[in-house]
Amino acid sequence: MSLVPDGLGGQPRHHAGVLFRLDHTTAGPVLLIQTTLPPDPARLPDGYGTIDTRDVSPLLKALPTGMAVHYRIAANASRRAWKGDSAGKIVALSGQQAEQWWQRKADAHGLDLRRLRAQPQPAARGRAVPVRHAITLFEGQAVIADADQVRTAVPSGIGRGRSFGCGLLSLAPTQ
């Protein structure tokens, strides 16, 4: 939250539209941060890392229905239990259930999935509250079925666990 201004009220992460994801690349870890407010790199400590900013709004505005894209999202695939001792609790999904969850979410947010690869990630745990988020990294190819829904999903995120690195949907045109 150091990249955005102070004084954003009771839900600063929500007001700043902050989403993030830690990607592990061959060059090392890369922390992707998305915010609706202009980031201020001067607020970070010296030597924090290399910072590169990009405005995605032109891409989102020009996003056409029917465009083929690569996608990546680290998501907290989960559902609310309805029966038994777990009724009302959030239950983590894995394997085929997690893939089906992402298929439903992608459809609801304007993506027609063509290829899907799901990789379980280390769980995220809360410090102050004993919360555990099972995280799955979904990657693949899709076609934009509804550009307006995608334009809403990218800045707002998808699913639970946004403050634990889940929900940031990244898109890139296929070549």
Q: In the CATH hierarchy, which top-level class contains the domain 57-173?
A: alpha beta
Over the stretch 41-64, which tens digit does the pLDDT of each residue have?
Answer: 777 777 777 777 788 888 889 899
In the predicted model, is pLDDT for residue 9 greater than 80?
A: no
Tell me the three-class secondary structure of the chain, residue by residue.
CCCCCCCCCCCHHHHCCCEEEEEEECCEEEEEEECCCCCCHHHCCCCCCCCCCCCCHHHHHHCCCCCEEEEEEEEECEEECCCHHHCCCEEECCHHHHHHHHHHHHHHCCEEEEEEEEEEEEEEECCCCCCEEEEEEEEEEEEECCHHHHHHHHHHCCCECHHHCCCCCEEEECC
Higher pLDDT, residue 145 or 33? 145
Q: Where are the domains of the chain?
A: 1-54, 57-173
pLDDT band for position 121 (cuts 50, 70, 90): confident
